[in-house]
């Protein structure tokens, strides 16, 4: 048996981190509030459009501006977390930063809303890369899929329950303002809670090779340098996943789903917002399914299992999106069924691609890897799709935009992921060899 096959015959072992599920719940709460405030503008955009007198393209501008600024501030927050502390950055950037959400609720015109929402997004860009890095330190390779799935699933499920409630703000005078005020205030309170109760386990805490080593030894390689960050671009699996992120047009569902049903099929905002509940439930179930599928696939076929499940999810989404967006079913309940299925197919993704990124990068570079993956490449994709959908939607209609983006491009994305099968196994083995070597050096230094 070759060295590579020996290294990938079983999934990497892990060290159970004390209190990891409690810490995970705090991180999930932070992501929940951030995602709720970020989605509030898109779900209530029909009201904002009426209140401020803007066109559909304004939604694309708002979303794109938030993602573009995140492409710059996301890596900055990761760097700040390395120099200061991950906990401190999360408290400030994703907790107390909610004050800008409160301020956005007072916007008197679109320019003010754009500026304040962009500042808000600049802070929230810290959440995803740092929280995902922390999950990698709390959970090892055999349970990361479930942990990521639970966080993303719980966030989606609670957001789904809140979604129709947000839609009911349409019946309140200037209801979108009350939404921003409420969520912003809650975010500030959550930041205080994070400061009081969260405990950072330290980088590499869940890795079997670091068992018995003190935190200082585990974090000896944690200092970020330009050479280390650039080395990420030599990891073939990561590069392919970055390109795939640029093809991930399913992001449009969360941004334009409600306004799509309002504009294309004539539903009211209140009624269209109902689909957010089945979409969120579907997403929740998809993340759970994806989490268990990721861990199961890793055990059954460490070399190819995760890639196969991830690829299948892209094809499944394209099929469901075709039937869920291209036909008028005349009743919101039927659209709800298809939005639930689209949510399930989309929800599988984070439970697979996040653990895959963790598996091919060393602990000290996971934050930087997720800054690239989410803050930069996902931001570029989201900004491009949002701008394109916003302006093209005014010209050709969102139904045509959804056909090309959600059906055709997602099929292309699924085919593209075929390129992952060979390099993924090799990159996982390389990381495990590196961690083994570090443990040997650390033990020799102690002796």
For residue 446, what pLDDT is reported? Answer: 65
Query: What are the boundaries of each domain within the chain?
Result: 20-206+231-442
The H-assigned helical ranges of 236-331 are 236-246, 252-265, 269-272, 276-300, 305-325
Between 103 and 83, residue with greater pLDDT = 103
What pTM does this model have? 0.76
What pLDDT, on the 0 to 100 scale, is given for residue 213?
Answer: 59
Least confident of 185-189, 329-333, 383-387, 394-398: 383-387
Element (H, E) at 117: helix 110-124
Contact 69, 125 (CB under 8 A): yes
- Return the SS3 of 199: coil
Q: Given this model, what pLDDT does residue 37 score?
A: 63
Rounded to 5°, the CA angle 327-333-337 comes to: 70
pLDDT one-digit tens code per residue, 385-441? 888 887 888 888 899 999 999 999 999 999 999 999 999 999 999 998 888 887 777
Whether the pLDDT of residue 195 is over 60: the answer is yes
Q: What is the pLDDT of residue 5?
A: 41
Residue 302 vs residues 6, 241, 351, 416: alpha-carbon distances, Å: 11, 17, 15, 20
Answer yes or no: is pLDDT of 39 > 80: no
CATH superfamily of the 20-206+231-442 domain? MFS general substrate transporter like domains (1.20.1250.20)
**SS3 call for 374:** helix
CB 342 within 8 A of CB 283: no
Question: In 3-state terms, what secondary structure has residue 110?
Answer: helix
Can you give the pLDDT at residue 199?
A: 87
Is the pLDDT at 6 greater than 60? The verdict is no
- Mean residue pLDDT across the chain: 83
90: tokens are 């999360």
| Total count of residues recorded for the chain | 447
Q: What does each C-alpha distance from 285 to 43, 62, 128, 281 come to in angstroms? A: 21, 29, 20, 6
Please give the pLDDT value at position 151.
Answer: 83
Give the closest residue to 89 by CA, choosing from 354, 361, 371, 357: 371
Reading the block at residue 22, the tokens are 């409690």
Nearest CA to 245 among 339, 368, 353?
353
pLDDT (0 to 100) of residue 406: 95
What's the CA gap between 309 and 313, in Å, rounded? 6
pLDDT exceeding 70 applies to what percent of the chain? Answer: 86
Q: Is the pLDDT of residue 215 over 70?
A: no
pLDDT confidence of residue 206: 75
The tokens for 216 are 């200082």
Burial of residue 4 (number of CB atoms within 10 Å: 0-12, 13-18, 19+): middle
Predicted confidence band of residue 341 (pLDDT cuts 50, 70, 90): very high
Confidence of residue 361 (pLDDT cuts 50, 70, 90): very high
Average pLDDT over residues 56-78: 82
Share of the chain above pLDDT 90, in %: 25
């Amino acid at each position: 048996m070759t060295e590579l096959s020996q290294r990938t015959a079983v999934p990497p072992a892990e060290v159970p981190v004390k209190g990891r599920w409690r810490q995970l719940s705090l991180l999930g709460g932070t992501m929940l509030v951030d995602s709720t405030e970020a989605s509030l503008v898109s779900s209530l955009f029909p009201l904002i459009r009426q209140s401020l007198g803007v066109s559909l393209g304004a939604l694309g501008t708002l979303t794109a501006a938030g993602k573009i600024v995140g492409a710059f501030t996301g890596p900055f927050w990761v760097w700040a977390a390395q120099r200061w502390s991950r906990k401190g950055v999360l408290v400030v950037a994703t907790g107390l930063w909610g004050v800008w959400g409160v301020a956005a609720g007072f916007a008197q015109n679109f320019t003010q809303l754009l500026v304040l929402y962009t500042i808000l997004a600049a802070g929230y860009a810290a959440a995803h890369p740092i929280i995902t890095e922390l999950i990698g330190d709390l959970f090892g390779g055999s349970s990361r899929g479930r942990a990521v799935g639970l966080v993303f699933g719980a966030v989606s499920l609670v957001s789904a329950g809140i979604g129709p409630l947000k839609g009911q703000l349409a019946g309140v005078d200037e209801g979108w303002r009350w939404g921003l005020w409420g969520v912003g205030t809650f975010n500030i309170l959550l930041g205080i809670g994070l400061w009081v109760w969260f405990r950072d386990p330290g980088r590499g805490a869940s890795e079997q090779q670091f068992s018995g080593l003190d935190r200082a030894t585990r974090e000896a390689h944690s200092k970020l340098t330009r050479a280390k960050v650039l080395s990420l671009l030599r990891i073939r699996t990561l590069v392919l996943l970055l390109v795939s992120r640029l093809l991930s047009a399913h992001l449009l569902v969360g941004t334009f789903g409600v306004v799509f049903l309002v504009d294309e099929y004539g539903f009211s905002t209140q009624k269209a917002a109902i689909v957010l509940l089945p979409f969120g439930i579907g997403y929740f179930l998809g993340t759970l399914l994806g989490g268990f599928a990721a861990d199961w696939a890793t055990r059954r076929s460490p070399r190819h299992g995760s890639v196969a499940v991830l690829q299948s999810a892209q094809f499944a989404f394209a099929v469901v999106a075709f039937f869920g967006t291209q036909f008028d079913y005349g009743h919101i309940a039927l659209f709800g069924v298809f939005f639930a299925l689209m949510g399930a197919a989309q929800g599988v993704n984070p439970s697979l691609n996040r653990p895959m990124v963790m598996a091919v990068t060393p602990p000290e570079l996971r934050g930087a890897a997720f800054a690239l993956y989410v803050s930069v490449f996902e931001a570029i994709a989201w900004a491009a799709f949002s701008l394109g959908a916003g302006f093209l939607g005014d010209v050709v209609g969102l139904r045509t935009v959804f056909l090309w983006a959600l059906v055709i491009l997602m099929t292309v994305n699924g085919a593209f992921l075929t390129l992952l099968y060979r390099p993924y196994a090799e990159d996982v083995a390389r990381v495990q060899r590196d961690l083994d070597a570090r443990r040997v050096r650390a033990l020799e230094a102690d002796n």
